[in-house]
Amino acid sequence: MPIPITANGAKLLKDELQRLKTQDRPAIVKAIAEAREKGDLSENAEYDAARESQAFIEGRIAELESKISQFQVIDPTTLTNTEKVVFSATVTVEDVETGDQQRFQIVGVDESDSKRGKISIASPMARALIGKSEGDVVEVRAPQGASEYEIIAIEYI
């Protein structure tokens, strides 16, 4: 099944994969070799730590390679004449009760970062907004309770 991701998110994950393969993997191989030179491996904490790091790096490489092969890259700047919220939209909403506004982009699970204004397509907010238009009021059911938001603006930037 394709994994939706923005062009920027795909680039970040591909860059991470490249770094893991060209920098982190060779560094950990060197660290393992150096730890081996110190003798008895049964009580060598450096060796154990290096092997643990190697396992993590190899696991992350395998995970990224699998995900990247399944990417469906969506560039928000290519989406035109859409008046509804879809994946990669940047949406401004207003809390109906408090009047507080929030602005965020709906992105793939692997690129979500609430501090940078990027929410996952799987989040309650994104699920409530998908398919809606400016002026619509949506109810978002989250663990802390339900809230209503009005869609103020939808952008594809």
* 1-52 pLDDT per residue, tens: 788 898 888 999 999 999 999 999 999 999 888 877 776 666 777 888 888 9
What does the alpha-carbon distance between residue 1 and residue 138 come to, in Å, rounded to a whole number? 28
Q: What does the mean pLDDT of the chain come to?
A: 89
The full set of domain ranges for the chain reads 7-73, 76-155
In this model, does residue 60 exceed pLDDT 70?
yes
Are 13 and 68 spatial neighbours (Cβ–Cβ below 8 Å)?
yes
The pLDDT value given to residue 38:
73
- CATH for 76-155 is 3.10.50.30
The pLDDT value given to residue 121:
93
Architecture of domain 7-73: Orthogonal Bundle (1.10)
Kindly report the three-state secondary structure assignment for every residue of 26-63: HHHHHHHHHHHCCCCCCCCHHHHHHHHHHHHHHHHHHH
The pLDDT value given to residue 7:
87
The pLDDT value given to residue 122:
92
